[in-house]
Structures are given as structure tokens and as C-alpha cells.
Amino acid sequence: MADSRMIPPVLGIFLAVTLAFTASAATPEEEFAKDIRPLVEKYCYDCHGAEKQKADLNLAQFSDLASVTNAAGTWQNVLERVQAFEMPPKKSGEVAFDHQQKLVGWLRKLPRDASPDCQQLASDRTANFYRGYVMSRRLNRAEYLNTLRDLLGVPVDVGGLLPADGGGGEGFDTSGNALFVSPVHLEHYLEAARSTLESVLPERTRGLSPQARAARERLLGPRPGAQLAPREAARAALHDFTRRAFRRPVAEEELERLLALYDRGRARRDSHVASLRLAFQGVLISPHFLFLAEPEPSGGGVHPLGDVPLASKLSYFIWASMPDEPLLALAEAGRLSDTNILRGEIRRLLADPKAAALGQRFALQWLDLDRLGGEVRPDPSRFPEFSPALAEEMRAEVVTTFNHIFRENRSLLELIDSRYTFASSNLARLYGFEGVTSPTPVQVALKDPARGGILGMAAVHALTSYPTRTSPVLRGKWIMESILGDKVPPPPPNVPPLSEEGGQTAPVSLRKQLEIHRQNAECAACHDKMDPLGFGLENFDVLGRWRDRDRGEPIDARGTMPAGESFEGPTGLKTYLLSRKDKVLRHLARKMTGFAFGRELNKLDDCVIDRAMGALEAEDYRAGALVESIATSFPFRHRFHPKPDS
């Protein structure tokens, strides 16, 4: 037995509790009365008994097992505190770790309160039990640029001044645990604010486009004159700008602090425009602009999110940008908490062109396609047709198709199979489409059923190939992880990979190589599932062009899954995936929920996924049902704040 002196003292409560497991013949009621309750009394009543109820918790009231099971929510909280090593306090003594595990097991076996699960949130207290809870976060680079565009009325190009954002949580750049702020960030934000305002608020309008001139006039607001003092003109302009930039009403003291910057400019004899530019710069480097922060509710526990922060949460989910005036006005009037009004705004936002951000930000990250053309690209000596412009057209096909489905509220099953796609001129030439001359994607009706859906898109084929040849393994792994949501473990050590060089490797021999590879039991566990999926896409070359032969050998695109299901080619593969549409759409729902929440999901979020799936089934899998279900969910509309004494 382990030396008890080496065990954390927090485990003291578990010693005698685990004695309950030694009397296997005892009924659950006898077990509680004889072994559990005396230990709860010994270790817990000092803080949570009849005389003292720290955090308003009185465990003395639970005199029998029935009273425990009738308060499953309370005992679920006890489990969280015990499992998080927060309770019992250190003075309770020390026992072996295996005893602690047995108690946690006993607590886990208690009946759970089924109804509140969908109305709970992971909290700071349970963060190490339900990982990834995030209160607020910084705007990522794309959101920052979109917000500047909508705030100023003209697009700005200062993205090169900002550091790149990493992915976190469920793999997206909306994850708060990856959006930290460093001194380097602050320097770049200061430079970006200065550069932006000098371009949109110059002293003179000569050389400005009509759009830029109109944006400048709107930002400056009423001009100083005989009827309006310069500081009052600055106040009016600054009030409107700050309200929109902070995405909420502005307090008078906040406005005065910003006007002090205007006063500083005037004191050094700067012009009205230059002084106002200095005050605007203060707005753009404020945490109230750079962060999406949810105000803490008074008191502890779970509270509805206020209408104004809810407006920002919604707009950054769908638009990756600030709320517009109609949305902000509804929030300020306290009307957004009305579920019917909220649903109406969700539909309005989805129909707006700015909802293209869903495809640009969510879809590319979900499918891992943002790497294409950067760290992932075909060998230029083998595929000279590939270029940064073609890579952009490949991504645009995915983005435009995704946004078409959401904008038109079409079935999400069209992501798996459809009879149309969107192609621009270079991509159309690659596919062999005739009559497409547009430099931007246009809808094209498909005659070949193999091409429609994500699996028929060149971006996917290029991403899941080696630089010199296709790879059934990479393609199968991508389908498992990105489409079906199955985790693929890394290969076992000391197993040599297949050659990436395609010069001497024909498709038939590649199949034979993989068959030999699967003779290793450790390899077979994954390859039996991956390889057949990948072979279903072998008719597409590295660039996504259709082929029937490769280096003189016929393509063998047959696949047989471990359960015996067989298919052939992309059309058969899509039929196979459609037969598993619930699995595909559940993974999509999970990824979009993680994107919207800006954190890693936990088991309390399973209710959101379940309800999203129910909504999709009821609405013929239409895209709007997924977004509405997420944006009206309990976690999206509520937030947690711990009690001061908890």
C-alpha cells in the first residue's frame, strides 16, 4: 500500500467512505446509513452542517439515501468539488489515491437530475472538470478587420500589422484560451489604429474615392461653427463613434476621458480633425473595443446574458463583426431577449451578405482548408498549374457553396451531395466546365454526380494529397476526422511510412502496399477504416481533375468498410456518407457550436448538440435550424459568475 504521507491531504474524506464497497451484500440504503453518512458528518459538517452552512450548503439534511437521490443536483456539485480536489479541506486527513477513485465512482453512480443538465454551465470552479470555460476574449484578426470595415464604412488593409492567431478549443480562432494579449499585440494595435485613422480621416479630401469621402464626412459628424463649439462637435462625433465601437451605450465619464485626448490635441494647436483623430485612436486601442467581454452579473450563479452583450455575441458568431444599428437598437431597448425577436434577427443576419463570414471563417477552419496554398501545396514541378490564385479559387468554391446553403436555408445534406457547384474561370477550366469566364464563382449545374458536394471539390483533393501524388490514407483520415468526427490516433512507433514519391508507385501497387501495411495489427485498426474511404476519391488527382487511369493503370476506386459495406468511386462514397448523415451532421453541429461558443465543449454542451439535431430533423436538415438552435441555446444566452464565498 502507498505511503499515506505521500498522498494529497485533500483525499481524507475518502478513507472510510470506501469501506462501503467492502460490504457487497449491503443494500444501497444500508450502505449509505452505515458507511457514507457518518463520514460526511465527520468530514463535512463543520462547514456544511446544521450549525454552519458555508456557500448555503447543508449536508446534514440528507438523512437517508432517498433524500440524496432527490437532490441529485446538489450531489453532482459535491462530485465536482471532490473530483476537482477542492473538497474536503486539508485538515480532513490523508488516504491512498485508489480510495479517492472509489469514492468518485460511488458519487458518479448516484442518479442524476436529468432536467437541469441542459440549463447548466461550466464554471470557473469546474473548469478543471469541464475544460475550456472562457468568460471573454480578444477579437481575432479577421474580426478586428471586419469590425474596422463596418465601423469606418470602408475596408482597411492593416492585417499585415497584426500577429497571426492560433486555433484553440474546438480548433477555431474564436477560442478565448488562444486569444491572449501580449505587449507585442498592443504595439501592433497602436500602429494599426494610427495607420487606419490617418487613411480614413486625412486633413484634406483630395484623392479620396467617393466612398472614402462619404465615410470621412460621416465620422466627423457636425462641423464646428458659429452655432456649435469645436468641443461640442467633437463630443457628438465621439459619442456616436464610441457607442458603435464599444457595441454598447457609453457612460458620460468614459466620454469625458476620451474627450481629454481631443483637448490634448487642441492644446498643442492640432486641427479639429487631427484632435478628433487622436480621440478616435484612444477608442480603437481600448479594451472595450478590442475585447468581447460579457459583464459579470451581480451575485453568484447562472444569469441570462444581457441584451447588449448578446447582440455582439450573435453578430460575431454569424458576421465575425460588430452589430449593425438595427441589432444594437433592439438590444438597447431590451427586446433581444424575446426569443421570437432573437430568431428574427438570426434570420436577418443570415440573409445579409456579411454572413459570408461563416464560410470564410467557420467552413475553412472546420475543413482545415485554410492551410491550402500555405504549408500545403502541390509540387510545382509536377503540377505547374497550381498557383496562389488557383488555391484561392479552390477555397472560394467551398466558401461560396457553404454560404449559398446557409443564405438560402437549404439542406445541409447538400454539403455531402448536390447537383451544382460554384466555379470561377481557372477552376472551371481545371474541371472541364465550358462557358465559365467569370473571375468570381458562379453557380454551375453539374451533369456528373461524382463532382457535387465537398468531396468533389479540388480544395479537398489538393489538401489531402502529398505534393507529388494522391494519398488514400490522407484522404481517408481527413474524411474520418473532418466529416465523420472520428479521432485518428498517430501511427505506432517504428512503422515506416509509405513512400510519398509517386514515380514508381502505381495505384494497384499502392493498394498492395497498403494491404501489406494492414497486416500489422496495430496499423490495421485504423487503416481498415481509413483506406477504403480514401480509395473512394482516387479518381481525383492531386488538383482535383477527374482521371480513369494513372500512369497507364486503371483506377481502382472500390472501398469495403470493416462492417462489410462496399461502394465504388465518389458517388458510392457519398451514398455511404448519406447513410450516416446523423453522424456527419452531429459532428458539424458540434464544430459550429464550438465556433460560436469560443471555447472547448464539455459534457454539459451535449444538450445543445442533441437539440440541434432534433431541430435539424424537424426542419428537413435546413441550415438555418442549426444556427438558430445554437444561438438560442441556454449556454449561448447565459453566463456563470461564482459566488464570492464559494
122 domain residue, yes or no = no
- The residue whose grid cell reads 442524476 is 112
Q: Do 220 and 309 fall within a single domain?
A: no
Query: Looking at residue 88, what is its pLDDT?
Result: 66
Q: Which of 31 and 139 is assigned the larger pLDDT?
A: 139
Distance CA 11, CA 7 (A): 8
Q: Do 103 and 74 fall within a single domain?
A: yes
Query: Where is average pLDDT lowest: 155-159, 401-405, 613-617?
Result: 155-159
Q: Do 337 and 400 fall within a single domain?
A: no
588 domain residue, yes or no = no
Could you report the per-residue pLDDT of 81-97, keeping only the tens digit for each? 665 455 665 444 554 45
Distance CA 28, CA 109 (A): 11
Geometric angle at alpha carbon 453, from 449 and 459, rounded to 5°? 115
* Domain final residue pick, 525, 549, 578: 578
88 cis-preceded (ω within 30 degrees of 0): yes
* Domain final residue pick, 578, 602, 627: 578
**CA-closest candidate to residue 103, choices 10, 192, 199, 187:** 10
- Averaged pLDDT score across all residues of the chain: 85
**Beta pairing, strands 638-641 & 442-445:** unpaired
Q: Do 11 and 106 fall within a single domain?
A: yes
Q: Which domain holds residue 310?
A: 305-351
- The residue whose grid cell reads 460575431 is 316
Could you report the per-residue pLDDT of 151-160, keeping only the tens digit for each? 999 999 888 8
Looking at residues 547-567, what average pLDDT do you find?
91
Q: Do 215 and 94 fall within a single domain?
A: no
Number of domains in the chain: 4
**CA-closest candidate to residue 221, choices 143, 276, 269:** 276
Query: Looking at residue 127, what is its pLDDT?
Result: 45
Distance CA 474, CA 166 (A): 23
* Domain final residue pick, 578, 602, 633: 578
Query: Looking at residue 603, what is its pLDDT?
Result: 81
Instruction: Characterise 588 by phi-psi region: left (phi > 0), alpha (psi -120 to 50), beta (else).
Output: alpha
Q: Is 71 helix (H, G, I), strand (E, B) or coil?
A: coil
Distance CA 586, CA 602 (A): 15
Q: Do 471 and 388 fall within a single domain?
A: yes
Instruction: Characterise 208 by phi-psi region: left (phi > 0), alpha (psi -120 to 50), beta (else).
Output: beta
Q: Do 311 and 284 fall within a single domain?
A: no
Residue type, 555: I
Backbone angles phi, psi at 232, to 5 degrees: -70, -35
509 domain residue, yes or no = yes
State percent of the chain over pLDDT 90: 61
* pLDDT reading at 192 higher than 90: yes
Please report which confidence band the pLDDT of residue 528 belongs to, taking 50, 70 and 90 as the band edges.
confident
| Predicted model pTM | 0.80
**CA-closest candidate to residue 194, choices 274, 98, 255:** 274
640 domain residue, yes or no = no
Distance CA 171, CA 168 (A): 5
